[in-house]
């Protein structure tokens, strides 16, 4: 895709050339219209006549071309300023993308930790019992709606156990999600790709919904407003 600033510069250059050509045509045409009939529409061999014509052209077109050149300089300076602003914005967007990727990596690492109040320092008997697996199981159980009393009691027990085991890690997780939302909001505000923002939002929609369903995501209003977990629950409810 061509640079829009270069396209504008080319457009202005063409416009100035057209204006200059029209001004020259009008000036010369007016001179010919006035003086050509008297000379029988023939070229003069007199030096003074050509000198007068040169003075006329220079006096009429000189200021016009000088003005057009001044406009061209102003437009060039303006476009250069726009290019610098665009380059600065692109650099800021790239930096925000790097920060978003770094925060996303922290979130992924937290989700991959062994579940337990001590975080990664714990040594559970089941090495596959990560924060993500416990959270997904507890979140699914919290979202499940069943008339069976025994199943419902089992789900409630699972949710309470998960809340106890994820208490410290969920706090860190919500903090990082809060930072992610801030970065994505700034990224979108600066004109970043909505596709990138949607990718990260869809990546953690389920995680936020599970955290919210077991009561571990209510502390961050920013996370709630951005992910809207209560609206997303319909996609995670078992059997729907």
Q: Which domain holds residue 24?
A: 4-87
Which residues lie closer than 8 Å to 15 by C-beta, 6 or more apart?
A: none
* Structural domain includes residue 194: yes
- Give pLDDT tens digits along the chain (240 positions): 456 666 776 777 788 788 888 888 887 788 777 777 766 667 777 777 778 778 877 888 888 888 888 888 888 888 888 888 888 888 999 999 999 999 999 999 999 999 874 444 444 445 568 999 988 888 888 877 766 666 667 767 777 887 878 888 888 999 999 999 999 999 998 888 899 999 999 999 999 999 988 888 877 888 999 998 888 877 776 554
C-alpha distance from residue 11 to each of 8, 30, 72 (Å) = 5, 28, 11
Are the C-beta atoms of residues 86 and 103 closer than 8 Å to each other? no
Q: Check whether residue 57 and residue 139 sit in a common domain.
A: no
Number of domains within the chain = 2
Q: Check whether residue 207 and residue 141 sit in a common domain.
A: yes
* Structural domain includes residue 131: yes
Strand partners, 83: none
Q: Check whether residue 36 and residue 73 sit in a common domain.
A: yes
* Structural domain includes residue 230: yes
* Structural domain includes residue 130: yes
Q: Check whether residue 121 and residue 206 sit in a common domain.
A: yes
Q: Considering the entire predicted model, what is its pTM?
A: 0.66
* Structural domain includes residue 59: yes
Q: Which of 69, 87, 105 is the last residue of a domain?
A: 87
Dihedral angle computed from the Cα positions of residues 178, 182, 188 and 193, in that order, rounded to the nearest 10 degrees:
-60
Q: Check whether residue 146 and residue 217 sit in a common domain.
A: yes
* Structural domain includes residue 101: no
Angle among Cα 143, 174, 116 to the nearest 5 degrees reads 75
* Structural domain includes residue 97: no
Q: Check whether residue 133 and residue 231 sit in a common domain.
A: yes
């Amino acid at each position: 895709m061509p640079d829009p600033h270069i396209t504008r510069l080319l457009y202005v250059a063409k416009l100035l050339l057209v204006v200059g050509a029209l001004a020259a045509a009008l000036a010369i045409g007016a001179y010919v219209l006035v003086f050509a009939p008297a000379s029988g529409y023939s070229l003069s061999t007199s030096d003074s006549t050509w000198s007068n014509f040169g003075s006329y052209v220079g006096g009429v077109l000189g200021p016009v071309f000088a003005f057009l050149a001044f406009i061209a300089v102003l437009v060039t300076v303006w476009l250069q300023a726009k290019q610098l602003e665009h380059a600065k914005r692109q650099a800021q967007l790239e930096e925000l993308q790097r920060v978003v990727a770094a925060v996303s990596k922290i979130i992924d690492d937290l989700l991959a930790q062994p579940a337990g109040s001590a975080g990664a320092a714990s040594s559970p008997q089941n090495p596959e019992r990560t924060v993500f697996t416990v959270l997904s199981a507890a979140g699914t159980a919290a979202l499940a709606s069943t008339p069976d009393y025994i199943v419902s009691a089992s789900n409630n027990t699972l949710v309470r156990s998960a809340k106890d085991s994820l208490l410290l890690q969920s706090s860190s997780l919500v903090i990082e999600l809060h930072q992610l939302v801030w970065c994505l909001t700034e990224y979108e505000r600066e004109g970043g790709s909505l596709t990138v923002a949607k990718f990260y939002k869809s990546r953690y929609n389920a995680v936020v919904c599970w955290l919210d369903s077991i009561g571990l995501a209510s502390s961050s209003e920013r996370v709630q407003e951005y992910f809207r977990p209560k609206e997303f629950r319909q996609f995670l409810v078992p059997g729907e």
